[in-house]
Amino acid sequence: MKKRTTFIVAAAMTAVTLANAAPSSISLSPLSTYASGIFDEGAAEIVAHDAASQRLFVTNADENTLDVLDISEPANPSLLTKIDLAPYGDGVNSVAVHDGVVAVACEADPKQDPGTVAFLDIDGTFVSSVVVGALPDMLTFTPDGTKVLVANEGEPDDDYVVDPEGSVSIIDLSGGVELLTQANVKTVSFTPFNSLENRLKRGQVRIFGPNATVAQDLEPEYIALSEDGKTAFVTLQENNAIAMVDVERAQVKRIKSLGYKWHALPGNGLDASDKDDAINIENWPVAGMFQPDAIASYNVRGRNYYITANEGDARDYDGFSEESDIGSLQLSGWLTNRFPTIQANEHLGRLGTTTEPPFGKCGEVSHVLFSYGARSFSILDDRGSRVFDSGDDFERITAEALPEFFNASNDNSKFDNRSDNKGPEPEGVVVGKVEGRHYAFIGLERIGGIMVYDVTNPRRPEFIEYYNNRDFTQDVETAGAGDLGPEGLAFISANDSPNGTPLLVVANEVSGTTTIYEILSSK
């Protein structure tokens, strides 16, 4: 497949294409947007689609509702209703739909208490509910719809005194949602790994919360399932690891570190400073912690692969914080002798780092420098081994497409604003099949926009397009700014689409907008 380079950016409401599309490729074309009118309150975070009714279910954290959109005319989405979720919890975190059954994950108050998964019909009528672990952050149906898996993040309170265990709930729906009871819920616990803490640390899994057991420290974030629904890959973001879960046995098979990205290698550069007044994507002696948020799965020739959006995240609470910057560290002589100005603000001085180094402390001196996130997406095989990483693609592509707004954030248009703190922050990812080829769509939380890659060959993906439906010339708090902070993405196949064309739906957390893209083939 011939590689192409295409950037499309909404600038003053104008789409700009910098290169022609290669044959047999796809492109995104914005079709419509539903605007909640709520800025920076999480009014559009996660989105799910029901093909039979042609409805979208969008989580609205600001109002603790599901906003139900009619997309039978996808060019003109309309709000059908808002489903009040207050009876089920204090805040909505996730939604999934399968054959007319809507599953919603709601946290408790306080969120350290067990949460709830409520099951509704497409009109919002309550069917049943069960109790799950603390802070159910994401849920998904198995491909056959007989189970729902829930990632219970189990975050501590602000004082880091109450720290519930992270876990994965498996809800058995085979007897029917109407007959669901608490007996249908199995909890996949990490407590068997409590005695293996030192082994996990030697394997580079980050276990570092104060006074936390392994089970308390592990915080499940997102789940992707194998094609047969028998294996789940669960991201443990703060721990920079994944858990592989046997769904049928409700057991954790393995916990594996995702390792570190050596930014000193060619193709792995990063722009590390917001004080150099320039785009400087350079190689530095920094180990990036991948720390993915979302994960998606797909199958190629009978083998499962998993795509991670390597956002990065730090623990920062009133009672405990690992956040620091490289300028505040005492560095070893090896680092300062070789890089005498490394701690200058225009170099690495302001780059976010951790006071809890993954390889353990060696006195007060730092021998290895770490940063949050890898500013990339990766592909893992079914053993959890990385077969591809996009390197510094995202920063180089956005630098070329948006040089005046490079590494701006989702609530401002300031040039270079996020360079010292995770850059563009890939947050969400979904995989879809179009005309026999697999494509990954990755949302960039900060600068915004969607990266599109052909991942049909998991070891040699091809960059297809970058589309940013944002107008940087407009005030971010106005509707004219477009989409800010893409969070959740949903792919709708041509067979399930209301207009027969595959669609990509993106929920944008900061702008509170839900945008529908047509996925057009250039054949």
* Res 23: pLDDT: 45
* Res 1: pLDDT: 38
Tokens at residue 316, please?
């920062």
Q: How do the domains of the chain map onto residue ranges?
A: 263-289+320-372
Q: Please check whether residue 456 is in contact with residue 467, taking contact to mean a CB–CB distance below 8 angstroms.
A: no
- 436-442-448 Cα angle (round to 5): 140
Q: Please check whether residue 353 is in contact with residue 430, taking contact to mean a CB–CB distance below 8 angstroms.
A: no
Number of helices (H), then strands (E), belonging to the chain: the values are 4, 36
- 224-226-232 Cα angle (round to 5): 50
Tokens at residue 279, please?
């785009």
Q: Please check whether residue 441 is in contact with residue 449, taking contact to mean a CB–CB distance below 8 angstroms.
A: no
Residue 281 CA: distances (Å) to CA of 3, 273, 392: 22, 10, 8
Q: Which helix (H) or strand (E) holds 56?
A: strand 55-60
Q: Which helix (H) or strand (E) holds 115?
A: strand 114-120
Residue 360 burial by Cβ neighbours in a 10 Å radius (0-12, 13-18, 19+): exposed
| CA separation for the pair 289, 286 (Å, rounded) | 10
Tally of residues, the chain: 523
Q: Which helix (H) or strand (E) holds 44?
A: none
Task: Name residue, tokens 């995702």.
Answer: 258
Q: Which helix (H) or strand (E) holds 221?
A: strand 220-225
* Res 357: pLDDT: 86
> Per-residue pLDDT for the chain (523 aa), expressed as one digit of tens each?
334 455 555 543 323 334 433 445 899 999 999 999 999 999 999 999 999 999 999 999 999 999 999 999 999 999 999 999 999 999 999 999 999 999 999 999 999 999 999 999 999 999 999 999 999 999 999 999 999 999 999 999 999 999 999 999 999 999 999 999 999 999 999 999 999 999 999 999 999 999 999 999 999 999 999 999 999 999 999 999 999 999 999 999 999 999 999 999 999 999 999 999 999 999 999 999 999 999 999 999 999 999 999 999 999 999 999 999 999 999 999 899 999 999 999 999 999 999 998 865 556 788 899 999 999 999 999 999 999 999 999 999 999 999 999 999 999 999 999 999 999 999 999 999 999 999 999 999 999 999 999 999 999 999 999 999 999 999 999 999 999 999 999 999 999 999 999 999 999 999 999 999 999 998 6
* Res 64: pLDDT: 98
The three-state secondary structure class of 108 is: coil
Residue 456 is given by DSSP the state: S
Query: Helix, strand, coil proportions of the chain in percent (round to 5)?
Result: 10, 40, 50
